[in-house]
Structure 1
Amino acid sequence: MYRRNWKHLQPSSMDHAMRLDLEYAKEMKNLSVERVADRMGIKHWTLYKYVDNGSLPSHLIRPFEHACECPHQFLTRYIAHSGHLMTIGIPTGRKAKAKNINALQSSCTNAIDALLKFADQEMTADETLNALTATMEDLAWHRAEVERTDLPELDFGE
């Protein structure tokens, strides 16, 4: 069975972002829409209405993402990206491990591949932008990690 690479998925709209958060909750945490709504303190049909309309009230964004337990926070990322901003996780200042560097290399390769496919008209502009944005965020996170190596955070059982 194919496993999605959740880290590099980019939402294309508000309702797509909400659906991605809910799909993550279902696939990775075994949380149904009803359980997510219960954790948010709202009725499940209300959550279905918000997802269908793509219009979650702003005061429910954080409870929604917290209830879905999705570390990628697709809804917040979509809002930032729609404002032409990038998002990165808060850096800890620890040295990168080999798997982190390999993931970065893979991300860079995917971005170059997307640019080549776009130039050959084999990939859409949106798909290319998603690949480039994911790579730019990965690079920005590594940059911030290097910047904070002099003052690393404590390891609390990560």
Structure 2
Amino acid sequence: MSAKLRRNWKRLQPDTLRQSMLLCKEYAQQRRNLSVEGIAAKMGLADHWSLYKWIENGRMPVVLIPAYESACGISFVTGWLAANDHKLLIEMPTGRDLSTDDVVDLHAGFATALGLLTDFYSGKAESVATLEALYAHLQTVAFHHANVLKYGQPEFEFGE
């Protein structure tokens, strides 16, 4: 393990647009071994100096944000933009067949989140644990949302 502390990337919440851009860059450097030049190349930019400038001043053309996040492998900028507009961003998992365990997990996650929420409002639970349980439950619901959506819009099945 390196001298640097390992970050829990899933828990990080940037406070500014510039910080979200820096976190994307740091993630790409640590997890994908990409330099700013490598990120710029994956984005299709001819000049990596522009990317340095955008990260430094926290301003990037909005049409390049998806390419930047795709190259970096994480979506801190999109998450910050959503949070800044008082929206909650939940990653939509891919659909798959439902199992009995999925229904049990949905119910258990809801019960856990509801219990912690009740305890939080009565001063018996920490906000971090409550937020984690709520977020985990929302991700489970997002999985079922994706499954139902896929059912309503079936994909083509090509030859056997």
- Short-chain TM bin: 0.5 to 0.7
Identity of aligned residues (%): 36
2:57 aligns with: 53
2:94 aligns with: 92
Q: 1:81 Cα shift?
A: 1.2
Q: 1:74 Cα shift?
A: 0.8
After TM superposition, the structure 1 = structure 2 runs for residues 41-120 of structure 1, keeping only pairs within 5 Å, are 41-68=45-72, 70=73, 72-94=74-96
After TM superposition, the structure 1 = structure 2 runs for residues 133-148 of structure 1, keeping only pairs within 5 Å, are 134-135=135-136, 137-138=138-139, 140-142=141-143, 144=145, 147=148
Say whether the 8 Å CA contact 1:91–1:144 is kept in structure 2.
no
Q: Which of 14, 32, 37 pairs up with 1:34?
A: 37
Q: Which of 21, 25, 30 pairs up with 2:28?
A: 25
Indicate the SS of the match to 2:29. helix
2-structure distance, mates of 1:129, 1:42: 45
2-structure distance, mates of 1:38, 1:146: 35
Rg larger in structure: 2
1:31 alignment partner AA: L
Unaligned runs of 5+ in 1: none
Q: 1:132 Cα shift?
A: 8.0
Number of residue pairs matched by the alignment: 148
Instruction: Give TM-score, length-normalised by structure 1.
Output: 0.63
1:11 aligns with: 14
Unaligned runs of 5+ in 2: none
RMSD value, Cα: 4.3
Q: 1:9 Cα shift?
A: 1.7
Q: 1:92 Cα shift?
A: 2.5
Give deviations 1:7-32, integer Å, cap 9, x for gaps. Answer: 22222111111111111110111000
**Taking CA–CA contacts closer than 8 Å with sequence separation of 6 or more, which of the two structures ends up with the larger relative contact order?**
1
Q: 1:6 Cα shift?
A: 1.7
2-structure distance, mates of 1:129, 1:19: 28
Say whether the 8 Å CA contact 1:17–1:74 is kept in structure 2.
yes
Instruction: Give TM-score, length-normalised by structure 2.
Output: 0.62
